[in-house]
C-alpha cells in the first residue's frame, strides 16, 4: 500500500504543477529518471544492499508503482523547472535531494524499504549524482521549456 500511496501523491503533484504545453519534451525527463531508478535499484537489490517490501507489482526488482510514481513525476517536473542559472540548478538539486530523502526515510520507517547493507548517506550521494546527470541530459536534449520557446 505505501507504494500505491507514493504513486498517487506523485501524480497529484504532477497534475497540479505540470505545464501541459511542454509535456512532449518534459516527459523524456521522467523516462530518463525512471530509467536511472530502475538501474540503481536493480544493481542495489542484486547486491543485497536493500529490498522492497509489500510490492504490489514488480518491475525488475523494483515496485512498478514507485517507478511510475516519484521518479517519473519528479523527472518530468525537474525537466519543466530546470533553471538557466547554475546556482539555481544547485539549489534545485539540493531541494529535490531533500525531498527524496524525506520520502525514503518515511518508506524505511514504515517498513516498505528495508536496508540490508545500505545507509542514508549512500542514497544522498546517488540522488545528487542522478540529478546532476539528469540535468546534463536535460541540457543536451533541450527538454526544458525555456530551451524550447519559440520552436
Domain contains 149: no
Task: List, for residues 59-75, the tens digit of each pLDDT value.
Answer: 998 999 999 999 999 99
Q: Are 75 and 12 in contact, with CB atoms under 8 Å apart?
A: no
Mean pLDDT by 10 residues, the chain (151 residues): 95 97 96 97 97 94 96 97 96 96 97 96 97 97 88 54
Give the pLDDT of residue 150.
62
Its pTM stands at 0.94
pLDDT at 17: 97
pLDDT of residue 149: 73
Would you put residue 125 in left (φ > 0), alpha (ψ -120 to 50) or beta?
alpha
Question: Is residue 148 situated within a structural domain?
Answer: no
Query: Which residue range is the domain that position 44 belongs to?
Result: 1-143
Is the residue at 38 inside a domain?
Answer: yes
Asked if residue 31 belongs to a domain, the reply is yes
In a domain, 55, yes or no: yes
Q: CA-CA distance, 66 to 91, in Å (whole number)?
A: 25
139 assigned to some structural domain: yes
| Total number of domains constituting the chain | 1
Comparing C-alpha atoms, which of 3, 39, 23 is closest to residue 145? 23
- On whether residue 150 sits in a domain, the answer given is no
- In-domain check, residue 151: no
Amino acid at each position: 500500500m505505501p507504494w500505491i500511496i507514493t504513486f498517487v501523491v506523485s501524480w497529484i503533484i504532477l497534475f497540479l504543477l505540470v505545464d501541459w504545453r511542454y509535456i512532449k519534451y518534459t516527459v523524456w525527463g521522467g523516462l530518463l529518471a525512471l530509467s536511472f531508478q530502475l538501474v540503481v535499484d536493480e544493481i542495489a537489490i542484486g547486491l543485497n544492499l536493500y529490498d522492497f517490501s509489500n510490492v504490489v507489482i514488480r518491475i525488475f526488482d523494483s515496485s512498478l508503482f514507485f517507478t511510475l510514481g516519484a521518479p517519473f513525476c519528479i523527472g518530468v517536473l525537474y525537466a519543466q523547472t530546470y533553471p538557466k542559472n547554475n546556482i539555481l540548478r544547485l539549489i534545485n538539486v539540493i531541494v529535490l535531494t531533500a525531498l527524496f530523502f524525506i520520502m525514503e526515510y518515511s518508506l524505511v520507517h514504515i517498513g516498505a524499504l528495508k536496508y540490508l547493507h545500505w545507509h542514508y548517506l549512500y542514497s544522498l550521494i546517488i540522488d545528487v549524482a542522478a540529478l546532476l546527470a539528469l540535468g546534463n541530459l536535460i541540457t543536451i536534449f533541450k527538454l526544458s521549456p525555456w530551451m524550447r520557446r519559440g520552436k
